[in-house]
Structure 1
């Protein structure tokens, strides 16, 4: 399963076969409260979704069914489960404490992986090979591994980081628009026109933005307007060039070749996959990004993402069922309850570069 700000998605697959047999989307995002991600609310949606998927005709193709009937349509049929969730690393204590027993009781599952969404994005985009992924949407995070340790850069939220992500681009565009409204240097009349068309008069924007709890999403909604103006407006084009520089910087921080301590030209090539809605903005962002990657990470081999975070969660579950999980374990990024902790020498389990 893949849990994010837009909802919960669940996929059913079989060991040894690529891709999902069936998928289901739960419209309501899993709640987050004072104790972190709400495990009970997740289970309220996940368990009925699993039962619905197992009742579909295509589930009859599934491997992993033991001889004889499967009580409740689920027990003895689920070989492994992988739960990927936004916020798992920092807000997943309740999930790690409650899901193993709850899923064992409800589904008979003994093999469970709990992963941060950056890890499932990595698994979906790159698989179980060394490399790096930059996941960009409203926010931005980069994750890389040599299959021994994880390296993370950014993903600290719109107030502390996510530099170059959708909210960052949208905020920079709105700043340029407000500068044009005031007559200050660095303003963009084109972006001011788009602000007015999208949000109404510029003077009303603070009242619209500040009371909302989804401010990052509102800021990010203006990022496509910046991209649309970039062909004719030098201010908008400069915003995307600066975003591209920040994105490449995050990739350079996590690429296994660059992270080993050598110079940027040392080491073998590093596969870098770009995943997420940010990179659907087109050439206005992708052209300067390719230039920045070539400059900052010359050993990078930019590859298309093989799949999305739901594909990654399914791949992790399949690898767990087959006993072939190669991605490194980590207490908060990727844990398999009941497994021995990873052996790490000479470096911490994850190297974080703010």
Structure 2
């Protein structure tokens, strides 16, 4: 039996799961993807405990802040291991939003830091879209749309990765939670100004959530967690969609953006699947109904399936696969980086 740790770092905070590979326990939650059509075995991992912090890892001039990540991760990992009575960790997998574009510092500093602090030498550093993929589809070909505060689609034929969007709330993440929330707030402010395209219903919700419109820029622009604040308004847009054509139109446009990203990332050949994962889809039918229509239009021969697990599940899956030397997902310097490690 080997202990493994999975980490999911996103715009809403940090989640950490401890698990073990090997014999299943009837009293714990088992998580394992089925073998793919080529017969590649799945990593068998049992989840023992999960903990979370609602403080997102900071981003500085050098990218994701390694010290801030370690300050949250190390005490939590030691506590989880102590409570479980576990021994040394066999492998750690960290999936982080921004890893692909802002993770140079993590890739340079974390391997040595985690080996010193936790004695672990098997480490995978992944974009959160990769851990979302692993949690949703395991090691099959296909594509996953990971949508929460942001939005990215990632696909693979198991020889390489193809990503679409995931460019952050200023340059992309079209259709994600921050995008929907921003569009809803813009429609509210249009109504406040008396401009075309405004929504009185969204204005009413904005005032209830954020207060007077005149104070919104000052309370929003200086915040480091702007994407999460914008995304917090997405449920208000969904709540107004039944009966408000502006809100309904925002969600229809979001669905089109999401489906276009899925189509761009999906492998063109083979028995591919598309899975949806992430908190955004908890908005329910106001978003899912137009999304099903768009996916059917753009990917008529591809099956849309329910995600088997979430990005934290995927992080634990990757750690287990690394521990058991069964990792078959394509390595990539930015999307799925496995530093050289010492065996034994």
TM-score interval, normalised by the smaller of the two chains: 0.7 to 0.9
**Secondary structure of 1:99's partner?**
helix
Question: Do residues 49 (structure 1) and 51 (structure 2) align?
Answer: no
User: If you compute each CA radius of gyration, which structure gives the higher value, 1 or 2?
Assistant: 1
What is the CA–CA distance in structure 1 between the aligned matches of 2:272 and 2:242, rounded to whole Å? 31
Aligned to 2:330: 328
Of the three residues 249, 266, 272, the one matched with 1:238 is 249
2:280 pairs with 1:278: yes
Per the alignment, residue 15 of structure 2 pairs with 9
What are the residue-to-residue correspondences of 1:10-49 with 2, within 5 Å? 10-16=16-22, 17-49=44-76
Indicate how the Cα distance of structure 1 residues 32 and 201 shifts in structure 2: closer, same or farther if over 3 A, else same. closer
> What's the TM-score, normalizing by structure 1?
0.83
SS of residue matched to 1:123:
helix
Deviations 1:137-162 (A, max 9, x none): 12111111111110011111112111
Point out the structure with the larger strand share. 2
Asked if 1:187 corresponds to 2:201, the answer is no
Aligned to 1:97: 108
Q: Distance in 2 between matches of 1:174 and 1:44?
A: 35
Aligned ranges for residues 1-354 of structure 1 at < 5 Å?
1-16=7-22, 17-57=44-84, 59=85, 74=87, 77-257=88-268, 267-338=269-340
Say if 1:88 and 1:333, in contact at 8 Å, map to a contact too.
Answer: yes
Greater CA drift, 163-172 or 248-257: 163-172
Q: Distance in 2 between matches of 1:117 and 1:269?
A: 24
Greater RCO (Cα-Cα under 8 Å, separation 6 or more): 2
- State how far apart, in whole Å, the 2-side matches of 1:268 and 1:172 are: 37
Structure 1 unpaired stretches of 5+: 61-73, 258-266, 340-354
CA 6–256 in structure 1, closer or farther in 2 if over 3 Å, else same: same
| Structure 2 counterpart SS, 1:19 | strand
Number of equivalenced pairs:
314
For the Cα contact (< 8 Å) 1:269–1:299, is it kept in 2? no
CA–CA distance in 2 between the matches of 1:39 and 1:307?
A: 27
SS at match of 2:173: coil
Give the TM-score, by structure 2 length: 0.85
CA gap of 1:208–1:160, structure 2 versus 1, over 3 A, is same
Q: 1:56 to 1:250 in 2, by over 3 A?
A: same
Are the equivalent residues in 1 in contact too, given 2:240–2:247 (CA < 8 A)? yes
